[in-house]
Amino acid sequence: MDKVFISGNHCIAEAAIRAGCRCYFGYPITPQNELGEYMAAHMRRAGGVFLQSESETAAINMVIGAASVGTRVMTSSSSPGVSLKQEGLSFLAGFEFPAVIVNMMRGGPGLGNIAPAQGDYFQSTRGGGHGDYRTPVLAPASVQELADLTVKAFALADAYRTPVMLVGDGMMGQMKEPVTFPEPIDPETLPAKPWALKGRGDGPSRYQASLILDGLEMERHNWKLVRKYKVLAEQETMYESYMMDDAEFVVVAYGTTARIAKGAIKRARKDGLKVGLIRPITLFPFPDKVLRELARSIRHFLVFEMSTGQMVEDVRLALENCGVEINFHGRPGGVIPTPVEFSRVIHRYYRRM
């Protein structure tokens, strides 16, 4: 298929429909309104349902409903709206229902502003709702990757029976880049979901509940979830290495910040600095193994984020007892940092090496 010059928000919606998503429920909030707009225009033609709900809470509960019958379903919002969805996320995790939740993060806390930010890292990766669960989190850094990872998110959600989050920000959502879309998937051809509540038919009756009163059952359920997250970590961790071949200094950054970091690294490379980038593509599971392997030969790590320091905690956990230096530079939501700013920071820490 030919390339299309398309914005991130529209791209996610198109990729979702192509991935077989047939229900979308959402409530408008900047900077992701164009996603719902695209769904409104195109979902019906695909034979699916677009519904603008009365609130974010309603949308996520509609997601639970659609997921319970085995339909590929998506909702999207931005930070304050995603906070409202957390109860539903916890229920989806408890029910083990597949669904894709998009968070185009904005400045916060509170209503904050609509500028790009990465302040929802903790909320996304730590299981933002109550209970002992995690959510796989995908963090694209280009519009093409938004398409690819949207398709991936639906596949992961189905394969692991879990809600999956796709996180970006206003820059990822508003930016346009050339995209080649994958071929559409006919939802009828997807593997059957024997657990889905589609009527008993000739089989045994079945029910789904997130209330598990029996203590031992509850514990068994939680251990089952833990095993699932372990398999996810072993098989689904994704990251990108950029200019790492001869690197003596590693930058760690994801999403929009990784793009800016790449610009900064290009500049630093021109000045002869041996700098590379590790870009986590999955934030949970976090690519800790590759960082530990690098720490055998590289002593200096620098984390860039558009927050006051959240992913840096995962980097510190990954490199615990490795005896390496981990520095952090963050700009909280409101201002997009520039490659010049980041390259200055790289120079400052590199000189101290």
Partner 1 sequence: MIVKTLCAGSGGQGVLTLGNVLGNAAMLQGFHATYLPAYGAAMRGGTANCTITIADEEIASPVASAPDIVVALNQPSAFAFINRLVSGGKLIYNSSIVEEVPERHDVEAFAVPANDLAVELGNARSANMIMLGAFAKLAGVPSREAVFSSLKLLMGRKKAVFEAGCRAVDKGMEYLS
The sheet carrying 239-242 orders its strands as 239-242, 275-280, 249-252, 300-305, 325-330
Decide: is 348 part of the binding site for partner 1 (CB under 8 A).
no
Q: In this chain, which stretch among 86-94, 102-110, 126-134, 173-181 interacts with partner 1, using CB under 8 A?
A: 173-181
* Interface map 105-134 toward partner 1 (x if CB under 8 A): ---------x--------------------
Going from the C-alpha of 285 to that of each of 104, 218, 308, the distances in angstroms are: 19, 24, 21
- Complex with partner 1: residue 31 or 285, whichever CB lies closer: 31
* Interface map 242-271 toward partner 1 (x if CB under 8 A): -----------------xx-xxxxx-----
Give the number of residues in contact with partner 1, rule: CB under 8 A.
24
Closest CA to 306 of 128, 170, 176, 173: 170
Going from the C-alpha of 289 to that of each of 137, 192, 280, 313, the distances in angstroms are: 17, 34, 11, 15
- Complex with partner 1: residue 68 or 79, whichever CB lies closer: 79
- Complex with partner 1: residue 178 or 182, whichever CB lies closer: 178
Structure-block tokens of residue 21:
């998503």
Quote the CA–CA distance of 286 and 255 in Å, as a whole number.
14
Report 280-309 residues binding partner 1 (CB under 8 A). Answer: none
- Complex with partner 1: residue 30 or 210, whichever CB lies closer: 30
DSSP 181: P
- Complex with partner 1: residue 130 or 176, whichever CB lies closer: 176
The residue from 68, 103, 150, 174 that contacts partner 1 (CB under 8 A) is 174
- Complex with partner 1: residue 80 or 187, whichever CB lies closer: 80
H helical segments located in the chain: 8-18, 33-42, 56-68, 79-84, 86-95, 121-125, 143-160, 170-174, 215-236, 255-270, 288-294, 311-318, 339-351
Quote the CA–CA distance of 302 and 239 in Å, as a whole number.
16
The residue from 100, 175, 306, 315 that contacts partner 1 (CB under 8 A) is 175
Q: In this chain, which stretch among 40-48, 172-180, 189-197, 213-221 interacts with partner 1, using CB under 8 A?
A: 172-180
Decide: is 170 part of the binding site for partner 1 (CB under 8 A).
yes
Decide: is 278 part of the binding site for partner 1 (CB under 8 A).
no
Smallest gap from residue 299 Cβ to partner 1 (A): 25
Q: In this chain, which stretch among 153-161, 171-179, 284-292, 296-304 interacts with partner 1, using CB under 8 A?
A: 171-179
Per-residue burial over 157-192, b if 16 or more Cβ lie within 10 Å, else e, is: bbebbbbbbbbbbbbbbbbebebebeeebebeeeee
Q: In this chain, which stretch among 15-23, 183-191, 312-320, 339-347 interacts with partner 1, using CB under 8 A?
A: 339-347
Calculated CA dihedral for residues 119, 81, 196, 235, nearest 10 degrees: -10
Report 3-22 residues binding partner 1 (CB under 8 A). Answer: 3, 5
Name residues whose C-beta falls within 8 Å of residue 86's C-beta, 6 or more positions apart in sequence.
123, 128, 129, 130
Strand 239-242 versus strand 275-280 pairing type: antiparallel
Smallest gap from residue 229 Cβ to partner 1 (A): 33
Decide: is 31 part of the binding site for partner 1 (CB under 8 A).
yes
Q: In this chain, which stretch among 61-69, 170-178, 192-200, 326-334 interacts with partner 1, using CB under 8 A?
A: 170-178
Quote the CA–CA distance of 36 and 139 in Å, as a whole number.
20
Contact set with partner 1 (CB under 8 A): 3, 5, 30-31, 114, 170-171, 174-178, 259-260, 262-266, 336, 338-341
